[in-house]
Amino acid sequence: MQGTFLGLKYMSVAKRGRGGVIINLSSIFGIDHLFVSPVYSATKAFVLGLSRALGHQIYYEHSKVRVITLCPGATKTDLLSKEPFTKAVNDAYKPGLKEIAYEQVERSFLQS
């Protein structure tokens, strides 16, 4: 959020900047929630919502700064292997969530 506002501050033609593009990084889970990690989904949804709001035409017309968001899918890394993944999942609100979540990962398409 602070980086986006700094970008607008220094890039805006209304403040002697040259305009430009701010690219924020969210996740596919900002669009379609990841039930096993509600905080992650919430933060990614925040980034997407902020970017969509500040990317509105009314702001662009004033600043000549575009604000866009990339929302990549999950990437196959060691973090998604069983032990690290299930260690990161909290099943305090749903017993057995670790196994349910990992089954979903195994069925998911993961980009390389």
pLDDT in tens, 29-61: 999 988 888 999 999 999 999 999 999 999 999
- Residues 19, 58: one domain? yes
pLDDT range class, residue 22, cuts 50, 70, 90:
very high
As a whole number of angstroms, the distance between CA 79 and CA 75 comes to 9
Q: Total domain count for the chain? A: 2
Looking at the structure, tell me whether residues 19 and 59 fall in a common domain. Answer: yes
Integer CA distances (angstroms), 66 to 48, 54, 107, in order: 14, 8, 36
pLDDT band for position 109 (cuts 50, 70, 90)? confident
Catalytic residue among 40, 60, 93, 102: 40
As a whole number, mean pLDDT of residues 10-36 equals 95
Q: pLDDT of 68-81, one tens digit each?
A: 999 999 898 998 88
Higher pLDDT, 23 or 103: 23
- What are the C-alpha distances in Å from 53 to residues 11, 12, 13, 25? 17, 16, 19, 15
Residues 59 and 93 in one domain: no
User: What domain range is 60 assigned to?
Assistant: 1-73
Residue 19 pLDDT > 90, yes or no?
Answer: yes
Whether residues 38 and 90 fall in one domain: no
Check if 93 is active-site: no
